[in-house]
Amino acid sequence: MTSRRTGNAQDPALTSLGRYAGPATLILASLADGAKHGYALTRDIESFSGVRLPPGTLYEALARLQAQGLIEPVESDDRRRPYRLTAVGAQALRVHLDAQRKVADLGLRRLAGNWGSP
Sequence ranges of the domains in the chain: 12-113
Q: Which range has the worst mean pLDDT, 8-12, 31-35, 105-109? A: 8-12
CB 13 within 8 A of CB 90: no
> What is 12-113's CATH topology?
Arc Repressor Mutant, subunit A (1.10.10)
What integer is the mean pLDDT of 94-99? 92
For the chain, percent of residues with pLDDT exceeding 70 = 82
CA distance 98 to 95: 5
Whole-model pTM: value is 0.81
